Every structure is written in structure tokens, then in C-alpha cells.
Chain A
Amino acid sequence: MPKSQPLIELREVTKSYDSPEGRTTPLKEVSAVIPPESVIALMGPSGTGKSTLFRLLNRLEDPDHGSITYKGKPLSEWDPILLRREVHYVFQSAVLFPKTVADNLNYPLKLQGKSMSEEEMARLLERVGLSKSYLTRSIEKLSGGEKQRVHLARSLSLNPHVLLLDEPTASLDPESTERIEQEMRCYREKGHTVLWITHQPEQARRIADQVWHLESGHLRQEEMKR
């Protein structure tokens, strides 16, 4: 695919939610283009709709108005299951399934009737800065930061073309954070695209080619000089 062609394109995307307290509209006619092989940092105050945007891209929900295309084809024309493995959303909170770390790393492939060797799993853990000994650990005994990294490693097993990260380093120390940032830079070098929600401007500056600011439903884009 030529580099000039957008990988993902949003056209006037609107999404609102009705609740007993009234209607909130996190996204108002948002238009944007995601170029291939880029890292985009998504910023904005709490509750503005950053996670909502990711749910739309991952097609866990559909927009009320507007359209989103991936590789030139509207999301609704993709098989949702295949799309979610390719344009993959790593949730904000680390949700792990019973019982062990290995069970979790194996889960996405098990869904497809495949399985993963121990070496491959160890390799995944290494990419997020955890040792092989974690494989047999029960998920109940992991710390918050360990959980978050297992959660990310599990998603990496899908090798998604587009990775949507929702504050992946929120509960990590600076060293582990640096490790994940490095890993994601490598990931982009391999031809993938990463969208990264962060609340830290310095982190955005370190990782991103573009910074998107989402505020009261509108998106403002800022190119980063490299």
C-alpha cells in the first residue's frame, strides 16, 4: 500500500450516549486521517471520548453518523471478528481471564483453534519486560503494573496491524514505561501503526509523529517535528 494513501479515514463521525442525566456527545463530526506506519498520541481531558473513539475503530460500537474506512473499505463491510484482530483495541483497564498468565497469552490464538509454544509466550513477556517465570503465575497474585503488561502482551500475540493503546503505561514505573515505548517504536518500524492515549505531554513528544487533541467533541491535530 502506498504511503500517501490513508490507512484509516474518519469522516464526520458523531457518537452520542443517552443516559437518565441527559445526552452526552463525545464525538461531534470528527474527521481525521491515520497514515500507515505512524504513531499517533491521543490526548484530552478525562471523559472527552478518547476510549469511545477506540471502541468505534475496533467496531465494538458503531457511530451514529459518519463513516470510518480501513484500507479504503468501510468498517461495516469487514468481518467484525477479523477486523478486531487487525485493528485491535487494548482496553484501559487490565482485564485478565482465569487462571494463569500462560492461559491469557494463549487465549487469542485458542479462540482461533490454534495454540502457542512456550518459547513464543516467553518472547511476548520479554517484549513487555517480564521474565519467563511469570508464565505459570496465577493472575490473582499479580500487581497492577504486572497485570497491565500481561494484558498488553496478550494483545501483541495477535500481531495486529493497527494497535489502539489506552493509557498502557498508566500504572508503570519510568523504567517499564521506557521499555514499552521502545517496543512500540520497534513495532512501527516493522510497518505497523499505533494510536496511543496518554495524559502526559512529555510521553506524547517522545513517542508520536502526530498528536491529536480531543476536546468537547472536536479534534485538533498537531504534527511533530522529528
Chain B
Amino acid sequence: MTWTATVTTLGFILISMFVSLWLRLKLERDLIIGTIRATIQLISIGYVLHFIFTSNHWYWIGLVLLVMITVASQNAAARGKGIPWIFCRIFLTIFIVAGFTLLMMLFLHLIQAKPQVLIPISGMIVGNSMVVSSLVLNQMRQQAEQMREDILVALSLGATSRQASMRLTREAIRSGTIPIVDSLKTVGLVQLPGMMTGLIIAGTNPIEAVRYQLLIMFSFTASATLTSILMGLFVYPTLFNRAHQFIGWRGKTDK
């Protein structure tokens, strides 16, 4: 694609602008801000990636990974405001999951150890892990309220906090893995995944693109499961104190 072609794509924005003005949707301001932000963010990340690909040093890849995990953790931590050390708990989860998944892929020679492959793939894994973390946190908050009495009764029967919250944790882990398992069933029938589409447009043979897509989806399944389990394990202890007393969800309940 040439730069002139890129500028021409702004025409699509003009269509929305026109509709917005015509129907008085008052979207013009947001449209302009959104367009400018998307352009700047994507062009700068383009240059950053270009720089990293040409310099080809390991520490740059590490830095990019750390930034991605930090931003992702911050995003997911909004779901657990009020829980002590929630950022660290999520950061540790995503860090372990991304590290484990990438090492497995490298170890099994599924991907090449070069930044052009590592960075996009880890981006997808970190993003997936972030979404799953939010889901698990949401579910835990709901279950902590719903199962309050069950948990108290279990405690009164001599359960430890781990035993008393077993069903809650299990529900949370399930809810973190269900979406990816569902999407395994419909992918290719309902929607063509973005990565595969991109590879095909860029000229990759569709069979090759499908192989990459399968790799991503299967590793997403593993990393979603691992994320749910780690989040469950890292978060349930915050519902109790040291005397195995149930104190419930400490976060703000709004949102």
C-alpha cells in the first residue's frame, strides 16, 4: 500500500462525518479525536516495531513485553478496585502465562525466535490473558455475594478458606475458559479471525495462514485456562482473613 492510498482511506471517515452532521449525531468531535489518536498510535507503534526489528536486540523485545503486560494488568485491575495488591496479582498471572506459552512455542519449534514473530504473538496472548482476567474477576465478585451463605456454612462445618471457596473458585475458572472454548466451535463458520485474514491479504497461502491461526487459537485455549486458574488461586485468599473468616469482596461493587 502506498502513502497516498493510506491518506485516501480517510474517505471512510468522511462518510461517517457526513452522516453525523446530516443526522445531527454530534459524533464529529469524537470522530476527529479518534481518527487522530488511532493514526498517531498506530504510526508510532509501526516505527517502534520497525526500529526493534532492525536493531534485533533481545532486551528491546523484553521491554516491549513488559510494557504490554503492565498496560494489560492496569486495564484488568479496574475490575478489582479495592482488592489489595490486585495489580501485582494480575501482573504475575499474565507474566507467568505469557512466559510459559511463549517458551512452550519456542521449545516445540512452533514459531521462530525473531521479533517479527515474537512481538505480535505475545501481544495477542497478553491481550487474551487480560480479557480472561477481567472475566474471572467479574465472576468472583458476583459469586462472592451469591454464595456468601454457602461459604459461611462450609466454614462453620470446619472448612478451611480454600475448601469453603472451592465452588466459587471453580465457577470463576469455568467462566474464564468458556468463551474461548465456544469460539473454537464456531471459528471459520461465523467469522474469519483477524490475524488469518491479515496474513491472507499480505499474500500468505491460506493453508499456511490457517496453520498459524490454529496455533494461536489452541495456545489461547491453554493460556485462558492457565490464566483462570492462576487468577482464581491468587484472588480467592483476599476474600478471607487469617482466621479463616469470610470478609467478602472488598472492591467497590459499582461498575
Contacts and interface: CB of A to CB of B under 8 A. Distances in A.
A62 B244 CA distance: 11
A91 B149 contact: yes
Contacts of B167: 97
Contact of A80 (B153, B154, B157, B245): B245
A158 B243 contact: no
A108 interface: yes
B56 interface: no
Contact of B157 (A59, A82, A93, A107): A107
Interface in B155-184: 155-160, 163, 167
A60 B244 CA distance: 8
B150 interface: yes
A60 B156 contact: yes
A187 interface: no
Contacts of B159: 81, 111
Nearest to A90: B156
B220 interface: no
B243 A80 contact: yes
Nearest to A81: B158
A111 B158 contact: yes
Interface residues of A, number: 25
A172 B156 CA distance: 23
A95 B243 contact: no
B87 interface: no
A93 B157 CA distance: 14
B46 to A, nearest CB: 51
A89 B149 CA distance: 13
Contact of A88 (B156, B163, B244, B246): B156
B152 interface: yes
B40 to A, nearest CB: 45
B160 A60 contact: no
Nearest to B149: A95
A39 B79 CA distance: 48
A95 B245 contact: no
B244 A91 contact: no
B120 to A, nearest CB: 44
Contacts of B155: 60, 84
Nearest to A82: B158
A61 interface: yes
A198 interface: no
A97 B150 contact: yes
Contacts of A108: 157-158
Nearest to B155: A60
Given A91-B149, A91-B152, A154 B157 contact: yes
Contacts of A81: 158-160, 244
B170 to A, nearest CB: 12
A82 B159 CA distance: 9
Given A97-B150, A111-B163, A91 B243 contact: no
A58 B245 CA distance: 10
B157 A62 contact: no
Interface in A74-128: 76, 80-82, 84-85, 88-91, 93, 95, 97, 107-108, 111-112
Given A60-B245, A84-B156, A97-B154, 7 more contacts: A58-B156, A60-B152, A60-B246, A88-B157, A89-B156, A90-B156, A93-B149
28 contacts: A59-B243, A60-B245, A61-B245, A62-B243, A62-B245, A76-B243, A80-B244, A80-B245, A81-B158, A81-B159, A82-B158, A84-B157, A85-B158, A88-B157, A88-B158, A91-B149, A91-B152, A91-B153, A93-B149, A95-B149, A97-B154, A108-B157, A108-B158, A111-B160, A112-B158, A154-B157, A158-B157, A158-B158
Q: What are the 7 A-B residue pairs with the smallest beta carbon separation, nearest first?
A: A85-B158, A95-B153, A108-B157, A89-B156, A80-B243, A80-B244, A84-B158
